[in-house]
A and B are shown apart, each in its own frame.
Chain A
Amino acid sequence: MSNRKKYWTNKIIRTIITAIGVTLIAFLILHLTPGDPARIMLGSYASEENLEAVREKYNLNEPLYIQYWAWISSLAKGDLGTSIRYNRSVNTLIKDRIGPTLVLTLTGLIISVVLGVVMGILAALKRNSWLDYLTTVQAIFWISIPSFWLGILFLYIFGLQLRWVPIAGMVSYTSVILPALSLGLRQEAWFARPMRAEMLEVLNQEYIRAAKAKGLKYYIVVTKHALRNALIPIITMLALRLPWIIGGSVVIEVVFSWGGIGSLLVNSVKARDYPVVQAILLLISIAVVLANLFADIIYTWVDPRIRTEG
């Protein structure tokens, strides 16, 4: 087997193992919590009848491995279970809410990457200028503020005082601006500094000097020769930041009454709606695992040193 095939076989096997691990953890969250799962779901004042009904419905009287197998089997069929609180299929609940979450996280992600990369490049090009210092200061600022607090601040200033954008919910396409900014700015801070450092390092390379010696225009030297190299490590970072972006979106959804997966998760935790919690945790984890695999693929694709190996 060539090196390359081995590499990808390894990667995919690892991804599958991680995915199985993730289902185990999501499953055990309910079952390893001390106490009777049925009672946890229904609360301490539930009648014995109701408890028994729930136990029956969720196979709680069976041994753990059978319960896990039952859950996994229905997962494999695409059935995420039934919500206790809404008494509806978890699939429908999630389907109704995944759109807003995707809009929010993707907008936030784009804001963070574009702003972070652009600011990082400019800071490196204008090293030690006010712009460079501004990049550092704003990054520290966004990182130091908890995102819920930033969200509330934005709501107060732009929603309540200035009335530029709707304060809550999803009433128009401008609704996404504040939550996406609250999400994106904080993450942008994580990209701007590494991007600056990468860019500075790359600009000092001999091949940049050679590109200049050929008489290439400055913007080609920067946007082609330097940027392509500096972006390679940023792609890995992006995959690493993704869990934080998703985590951040949960908080932001609650602050902005954003009817997505995040607020569903928080409400379900409060209502002890375990099937929903399990399903969402599972989905988020799978998304993160897949994003990592995807980042690996992009990484290999942009860096010919890896692509052409073996």
Chain B
Amino acid sequence: MSKLLDINDLKVYFNTEEGVVKALAGVNFKIDKGSFHGLIGETGCGKSVTGLSILKLLDNNALIEGGKIIYKDENLLDKTEKQMQRDFRGNEIAMIFQDPGSSLNPVFTIQDQIQESVKMYKKASKQEYRNIVIEELKKVKLPDVEGLLDKYPHQLSGGMKQRVMIAMMLACNPNLLIADEPTTALDVSIQAQFLQVLKNLKEKFDMTVLYITHDLAVVSEICDYVSVMYAGRIVENVPVRELFKNPIHPYSYKLVHSVLGVKTLLENLEEIPGSVPRLIDPPSGCRFHPRCEEATDICKTKVPQLKKIGKNHYVACHRR
């Protein structure tokens, strides 16, 4: 299968008053065209920063320190803001943001904001746009779609806003969709529906999805492949079935084994002793060593690199 996106040793730092936050310290993974790629890890490990780096929409205080983001043979990190806007954002790569409440502009109608996504690649009459927007809203299973068109974001509930946000980004008709915790504000039954929608769309339009989540259950349900992230690095890249059958990295192992019977990653994390390190002065060597029962001296001094240990299976650990 051909690669759509190849993130290579990506390093992103943030300048803050307390010091430099080394948020991404070498992120490596590849996304196959047409795959459903999961990115999981604890809160603050750098999942959102990774997603935003791909679109180059990081906060102003971010510094891209190094690495490459190759999308269809082109390094996005070499592109200017103008090129990103014209050639990549929207119709090529779109992103559903983590915070649905603030992602919609309060002073424009739902119709207006979704229509903008469509206008970027399709010329149509007013009525045609309206119909397209209605179709997009139906895709995310919103009730009373026609009544929604002229509403403003503050008139919708959190769950509805999230679905409008999803519809707005799906309406871009992207090749690569980055979905950052897209279901946090949805209730469980709608969440299941949404995942089904995403799956269908993916098949129908040959879309590739990078799915960022805490939720291992969701990962097991829809992802083909998973990157496990810990404190700014990828510790394991693994086909989803392998992850649940045979997690290799000590961190992945703990995630998966405490998940049995329990639902979300967040809850499980509390069962892994120790806490997430501060990324201003992260642990040396393997960033997981303060919490790892198998840590030895080398773990404290040397950063483990990703090694191939099976078909499509990579792990970064000195003991594996």
Contacts and interface: CB of A to CB of B under 8 A. Distances in A.
A218 B172 CA distance: 17
Interface in B24-73: 55, 57, 60
Interface residues on A, range: 20 to 34
A216 B120 contact: yes
Given A213-B55, A217-B85, A304 B106 contact: yes
B284 interface: no
A163 interface: no
Interface in A160-211: 204-207, 209-211
A212 interface: yes
Contacts of A232: 107
Interface residues of B, number: 33
B89 A213 contact: yes
Contacts of B108: 224-225, 228
B116 A214 contact: yes
Nearest to B56: A212
Contacts of B94: 213-215
B152 A304 contact: yes
A303 interface: yes
A34 to B, nearest CB: 54
A210 B116 contact: no
Nearest to A304: B152
Interface stretch (B96-104, B133-141, B198-206, B295-303): B96-104
Given A214-B89, A214-B172, A308-B152, A209 B105 contact: no
A53 interface: no
Contacts, number: 86
A206 B97 contact: yes
B103 A207 contact: yes
Given A212-B57, A212-B89, A207 B172 contact: no
B103 A215 contact: no
25 contacts: A209-B103, A210-B97, A210-B103, A210-B104, A210-B105, A210-B168, A212-B57, A212-B89, A213-B89, A213-B90, A215-B85, A215-B120, A216-B85, A216-B90, A216-B116, A218-B85, A225-B108, A228-B105, A229-B105, A232-B107, A302-B107, A303-B106, A304-B152, A305-B107, A308-B152
